[in-house]
Structure 1
Amino acid sequence: MSESKKALSYKARRRWSLVILLVGLPLYIMAAVSVVNWFDRPSILVELMIYVGLGILWVLPFKFIFRGIGQADPDAK
C-alpha cells in the first residue's frame, strides 16, 4: 500500500481534530478534574503541575492528527 492510502487525508484529519476538540477534550477535562478531586486538595502549585501534565498528556496520542491542520490544504489546487 502506498503512503497516501495508509495515512488519513487532510480533510479527514481536520474533521477528526474538530471532533477531538469539541467532544474529547471536554470529556478529558471532566475526567482530569474528577481524578484530582478523588484526593485531598493538594497545594495550588502541585495542582497546577498535575493539570499542566495532564494537559500535555492528552494530546500525545493525537499529535499526528493535529499536525499541519492550521495550514492550507496541501491537496487543494
Structure 2
Amino acid sequence: MALSHKAKRRWSLAILLIGLPVWIIVSSSVMTLLGRPPILVELLVYLALGLIWALPFRNVFRGVGQPDPDHRDD
C-alpha cells in the first residue's frame, strides 16, 4: 500500500526526530562497548551505519520535499 504525500511527510518527520537520535545513541553505545578501533576503521563503521539506517526508509523520504502531486490549485 502506497503512502499519501501527507503520510510520507509525517513519517519522515517522526523518523528524523525520533528514529535517528535513537539510532545514533545505539550505534555509538555499541561502538563504545566494542572498544575504540583505529580511527579509519571507526570512521568507516560510522559511515556505513549512517547509510544503513536510511536504506529501509528511502521510499518514505523520496519526494517529501516536493509539492503534493495530488493537490489541485483551483
Q: Please tell me the TM-score bracket, short chain as reference.
A: over 0.9
Query: Would you say how many aligned residue pairs link Structure 1 and Structure 2?
Result: 72
- The answer as to 2:28 corresponding to 1:25 is no
What TM-score do the two structures reach when normalised by structure 1? 0.90
Share of identical aligned residues, percent? 57
Partner of 1:72: 67
Gaps of 5+ in 2: none
Partner of 2:52: 57
The two structures, once aligned, show a CA RMSD in angstroms of 0.7
Gaps of 5+ in 1: 1-5
State the Cα distance separating 1:62 from its structure 2 match: 0.6
Distance in structure 2 (CA, Å) of the matches to 1:72 and 1:43: 45
- The answer as to 2:34 corresponding to 1:39 is yes
Distance in structure 2 (CA, Å) of the matches to 1:26 and 1:72: 27
Match of 1:16 among 1, 6, 11: 11
Distance in structure 2 (CA, Å) of the matches to 1:31 and 1:40: 14
